[in-house]
């Protein structure tokens, strides 16, 4: 990626202050270069009148001094500094902003609760494929909620309560649980639209990520990354009760839980569980994209009124192709052949099945050569490892594994061996279909092995009483096909094993005149 500019986002939160520097190229591709955080806990430096105390000014100065040194060294073109609940609450807000501006030359924009909710929504809508949902972003001193339908905002709100304020109410007893439940429902009752929404909850912020990380570790979940990790309401409640029963001094030792979050994870978990109960949420989906990502998308997509990607999955594949220098011509050619095979072998699939599988074949065809960018000798293994171990925006974990298995397919034996690791996510019937689809893609790639589109049409015929079905490849007039036939013969064996059917191949020259 050739950088055109560098953009920095500074997020001044109630709990921590974070600096992220992005490299951005001319085609809107971006990459996070530096991600630095300091646990400043600004909300603890607000006095009874909600004015930031002298100690708070000292902490802010120290943090921005460290950040300024990094910004100067990294040649950042543009700095976007925003502040949320702690500074929003501060009665001496203007003194704070003026102090940082005069001492550091950095202008901080204080976000309203509505703006903070909007950026969280932008991050969610541009990194998942969810159509209807309730996004909530729990910070240290506030929690933003956004209800969206057909990917459009319907309602939004900012509750003046977060993980740190909840922690102050918590004393590790039944009275604490009653107090937080009461406070939660007092807030929830303010919003009539929040009751019984019956949509997925999309959780943003450190607290919900930590709950998911603990659950993931306990379940020995086989897929890396928390983005789009899913939990049921039962699993969320079980995780909360598991954490509650562990003595506070021991919580920081729990696998998946950071020491920083150990002190407030239980009250935060209770609040989230009550939100899920109140809205009758179907499931909880974790998003690693939040406020900072929303601000970045707002800049990258400023030429679009909606500030949204048209198709999140296609955007993810587009970004991968640019990163690994993949050929769109190759992907389209392999997909065209793979799609022909699929229609011949599965003529009775429903329209819904066909749309799902055609999209999977399209993306897999375009990513098949990904591993060659790393090392040609073990290209397919590299393709698998990159896609399995990387969060892919818009793709569920099941879709991500399926995409990795198809893009890296070499043989049924290897696919089955790898799929065994994910048997809790992929059911047996789907794995069997992936075997056929993988063989289809390999077969299609074989017919493009010389980088020429020489096959005009593919047919599947049942000739007379022959026990073999015949694939007939119509070759464009005047084109040689020695290498295509050679590679297709080897690939055909995998298709035969997958479909448990014997085939013959016939290459015939087509007159294009």
Question: Where in the chain are the domains?
Answer: 3-110, 114-289, 313-510
pLDDT for residue 9 is more than 80: yes
Q: DSSP letters of 237-275?
A: HHHHHHHHHS-HHHHTTSTT--TTTTTTHHHHHHHHHHH
Give the mean model confidence (pLDDT) for residues 16-33. 91
pLDDT tens digits, residue range 119-130?
Answer: 999 999 999 999
* Helix, strand or coil, per DSSP, at residue 182: helix
Give the mean model confidence (pLDDT) for residues 94-119. 96
pLDDT tens digits, residue range 343-370?
Answer: 999 999 999 999 999 999 999 999 999 9
Burial (Cβ within 10 Å: 0-12, 13-18, ≥19) of residue 494: buried
Rounded CA separation 355/18 (Å): 41
What is the pLDDT confidence band of residue 3, given thresholds at 50, 70 and 90? confident
Rounded CA separation 78/90 (Å): 26
Share of the chain above pLDDT 90, in %: 89
So what's the pLDDT on residue 513? 52
Give the mean model confidence (pLDDT) for residues 250-268. 89
So what's the pLDDT on residue 389? 93
pLDDT for residue 46 is more than 90: yes
Rg of the chain, C-alpha, whole Å:
27
| Whole-number average pLDDT of the chain | 94
So what's the pLDDT on residue 466? 62
Residue 425 and residue 397 in contact, taking contact as beta carbons nearer than 8 Å: yes
pTM of the model: 0.91
**Cβ of 380: how many Cβ atoms within 10 Å?**
19
Give the mean model confidence (pLDDT) for residues 438-449. 97
Q: Which of 142, 140, 148, 149 has the alpha carbon at shortest distance from 121?
A: 148
What is the CATH number assigned to the segment(s) 3-110? 3.30.420.40
Q: Is the dihedral of CA 124, 128, 134, 136 positive or negative?
A: negative
> Strand 143-149 to strand 152-159: parallel, antiparallel, or no bridges (unpaired)?
antiparallel
Q: From start to end of 121-200, where are the E strands?
A: 133-138, 143-149, 152-159
Asked, colleague to colleague, whether 114-289 and 313-510 share their fold, the answer is no
**CATH homologous superfamily of domain 114-289?**
Exopolyphosphatase. Domain 2 (3.30.420.150)
So what's the pLDDT on residue 115? 96
So what's the pLDDT on residue 263? 86
pLDDT for residue 305 is more than 70: yes
So what's the pLDDT on residue 239? 96
What is the pLDDT confidence band of residue 2, given thresholds at 50, 70 and 90? confident
Rounded CA separation 186/326 (Å): 53
pLDDT for residue 467 is more than 90: no
Share of the chain above pLDDT 70, in %: 99
Both tokens of 353, joined, read 């099945």
Rounded CA separation 110/92 (Å): 13
So what's the pLDDT on residue 304? 81
pLDDT for residue 465 is more than 70: no
pLDDT for residue 155 is more than 60: yes
What is the pLDDT confidence band of residue 510, given thresholds at 50, 70 and 90? confident
So what's the pLDDT on residue 472? 94
pLDDT for residue 512 is more than 70: no
So what's the pLDDT on residue 277? 96
Topology classification of domain 313-510:
Hypothetical protein af1432 (1.10.3210)
């Amino acid at each position: 990626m050739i950088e055109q500019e560098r953009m920095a986002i500074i997020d001044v939160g109630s709990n921590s202050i974070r600096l992220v520097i992005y490299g951005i190229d001319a085609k809107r591709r971006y990459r996070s270069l530096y991600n630095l955080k300091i646990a400043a806990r600004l909300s603890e430096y607000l006095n009874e009148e909600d004015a930031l105390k002298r100690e708070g000014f000292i902490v802010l100065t120290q943090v921005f001094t460290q950040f300024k040194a990094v910004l100067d060294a990294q040649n950042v073109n543009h700095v976007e500094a925003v502040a949320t609940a702690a500074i929003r609450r501060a009665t001496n807000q203007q003194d704070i902003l003026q102090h940082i501006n005069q001492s550091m030359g950095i202008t901080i924009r204080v976000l309203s609760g509505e703006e903070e909710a909007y950026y969280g929504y932008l991050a969610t809508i541009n990194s998942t494929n969810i159509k209807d949902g309730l996004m909530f972003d729990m910070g240290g001193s506030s929690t933003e909620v956004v209800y969206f339908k057909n990917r459009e905002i319907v309602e939004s709100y900012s509750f003046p309560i977060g993980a740190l304020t909840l922690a102050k109410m918590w004393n590790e007893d039944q009275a604490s649980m009653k107090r937080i439940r009461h406070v939660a429902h007092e807030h929830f009752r303010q919003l009539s639209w929040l009751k019984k929404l019956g949509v997925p909850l999309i959780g943003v912020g450190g607290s919900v990520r930590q709950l998911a990380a603990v659950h993931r570790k306990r379940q020995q979940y086989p897929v890396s990354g928390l983005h789009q990790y899913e939990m049921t309401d039962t699993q969320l409640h079980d995780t909360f009760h598991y954490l509650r029963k562990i003595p506070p001094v021991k919580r920081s030792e729990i696998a998946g839980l950071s020491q920083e979050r150990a002190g407030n994870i239980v009250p935060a978990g209770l609040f989230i569980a009550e939100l899920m109960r109140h809205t009758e949420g179907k499931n909880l989906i974790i998003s690693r994209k939040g406020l900072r990502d929303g601000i970045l998308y707002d800049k990258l997509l400023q030429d679009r009124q909606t500030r949204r990607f048209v198709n999140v999955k296609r955007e993810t594949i587009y970004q991968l192709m640019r990163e690994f220098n993949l050929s769109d011509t190759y992907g389209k050619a392999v997909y065209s052949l793979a799609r022909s095979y699929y229609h011949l072998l599965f003529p009775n699939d429903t329209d819904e099945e066909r749309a799902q599988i055609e999209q999977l074949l399209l993306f897999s065809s375009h990513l098949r050569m990904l591993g060659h960018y790393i090392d040609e000798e073990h290209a397919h293994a590299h393709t698998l490892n990159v896609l399995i171990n990387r969060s892919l925006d818009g793709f569920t974990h099941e879709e991500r594994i399926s995409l990795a298995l198809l893009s890296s397919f070499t043989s049924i034996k290897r696919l089955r061996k790898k799929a065994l690791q994910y048997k809790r996510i992929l059911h047996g019937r789907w794995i069997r279909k992936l075997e056929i689809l993988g063989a289809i893609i390999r077969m299609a790639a074989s017919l493009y092995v010389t980088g020429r589109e020489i096959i005009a049409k593919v047919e599947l015929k049942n000739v007379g009483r022959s026990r073999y079905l015949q694939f007939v490849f119509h070759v464009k007039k005047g084109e040689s096909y020695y290498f295509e036939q050679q590679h297709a013969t080897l690939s055909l064996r995998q298709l035969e094993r997958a479909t448990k059917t014997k085939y013959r191949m016939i290459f015939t020259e087509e007159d294009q005149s």
